[in-house]
C-alpha cells in the first residue's frame, strides 16, 4: 500500500505515571491497527527522556487519518491520557507522496 501521509508526535506524562498509561496506550494501538486503516502505527517511550512517548504513523491518505481521529476509541483514549497526567501533546502530519527510500 502506498503511503501518502506521515504523522510524527509526542506525548509527555510524568515518568512515574507511565505504568498507568501503558494499558490505555496498548488498547489505542491495538484498536487503531485493527480498525483504522493505518499502514504503520508505532510508539515507544524515549529511553533518554523518561515520560516522553514518541509516535510515528503512516497512512494511505488524509481521509484515513481524518477517520482515525474521529474513531470511537479516540475520545476514551484522550480522556484516559488526561486522567494519567498528560502534560504535553504535539503532533504534525506531512504529505509525503513524493517520498523515496534512503
d(CA 55, CA 98): 22
Q: 10 — phi, psi (to 5°)?
A: -140, 150
The full set of domains in the chain, from first to last, is 5-95 (3.30.70.100)
What's the pLDDT score for residue 101?
Answer: 73
Note the pLDDT of residue 2. 86
Q: Please enumerate in sequence order all residues whose Cβ is within 8 A of that of 18, keeping only pairs 6 or more positions apart, or say none.
A: 45, 50, 51, 53
Q: Which residues of the chain have pLDDT under 70?
A: 99
* pTM passes above 0.85: yes
Amino acid at each position: 500500500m502506498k503511503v501518502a501521509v506521515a504523522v510524527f508526535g509526542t506525548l509527555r506524562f510524568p515518568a512515574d505515571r507511565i505504568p498507568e498509561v501503558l494499558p490505555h496506550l496498548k488498547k489505542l494501538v491495538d484498536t487503531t491497527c485493527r480498525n483504522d486503516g493505518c499502514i504503520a502505527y508505532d510508539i515507544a517511550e524515549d529511553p533518554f527522556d523518561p515520560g516522553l512517548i514518541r509516535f510515528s504513523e503512516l497512512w494511505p491518505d488524509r481521509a484515513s487519518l481524518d477517520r482515525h481521529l474521529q474513531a470511537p476509541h479516540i475520545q476514551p483514549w484522550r480522556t484516559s491520557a488526561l486522567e494519567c497526567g498528560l502534560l504535553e501533546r504535539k503532533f504534525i502530519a506531512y504529505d509525503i507522496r513524493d517520498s523515496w527510500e534512503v
